[in-house]
Structure 1
């Protein structure tokens, strides 16, 4: 999956938007931060490191550890909380379908929670 394909996939989530808080322009060396419009929380940080395209994704701690053991190209997140975030190296041993699933889970973890309505009868 290319950078643009991953960005376009992220934009399919409700209220998701593309941000470049660390760079003036959206180029190949820029950090792309995918956020939720309602709370501005990030769910995917896309960047290049050591010539490889990477994405940081939020994850439940037990799942994060499991994924690191299951895939060589999933590691504790670069520049993030290593308990709750993983780095995925794209075009490695993580299939695109798995990457999409991990991105969706990351989005679900940061999206605003809806309150259950109480029915007082």
Structure 2
């Protein structure tokens, strides 16, 4: 997996925008204004993704390349080290999981607006 694939995949999801709110090196993906993924554009050494707290702990125990969220809530975020040891399929699943968690937490109005997007 490379940053182009990651970017294209995130942008293919409904209601997603990309921003650089923390400076020109940190690429942030949001759904309806809420962050679900971020990475360093220069190195692409890791991806931060939101995760269910119980699942987050299990993933960290199972995979050496999954750590508690770097500069994020350690309870709700994981950092996936992009060292080639995680399968593309697992990374895709975890991106989807992060997106779904954020959508689930949106306000009723934001969910309605998201559903209106073609």
TM-score band w.r.t. shorter chain: 0.7 to 0.9
**Larger C-alpha radius of gyration, 1 or 2?**
1
SS of the residue corresponding to residue 45 of structure 2 reads strand
CA 1:113–1:95: 2 relative to 1, 3 Å: farther
Of residues 55, 69, 73, the one that matches 2:65 is 73
State the 1:92 CA deviation.
Answer: 3.0
Give the count of matched residue pairs: 107
SS of the residue corresponding to residue 95 of structure 2 reads helix
In the alignment, which residue of structure 1 is the partner of 2:82? Answer: 90
Q: Point out 4+ residue stretches in structure 1 off by more than 4 angstroms.
A: none
State the 1:106 CA deviation.
Answer: 0.1
SS of the residue corresponding to residue 14 of structure 2 reads coil
**Gaps in structure 2 of 5+ consecutive residues:** 110-118
Q: Is the 8 A contact 1:34 1:45 kept in 2?
A: yes
State the TM-score, normalized to the length of structure 1. Answer: 0.81
Does residue 31 (structure 1) correspond to residue 26 (structure 2)? The answer is yes
Q: Is the 8 A contact 2:3 2:44 kept in 1?
A: no
State the 1:52 CA deviation.
Answer: 5.6
**Gaps in structure 1 of 5+ consecutive residues:** 116-121
What's the Cα RMSD here?
1.9
Higher fraction of helix: 2
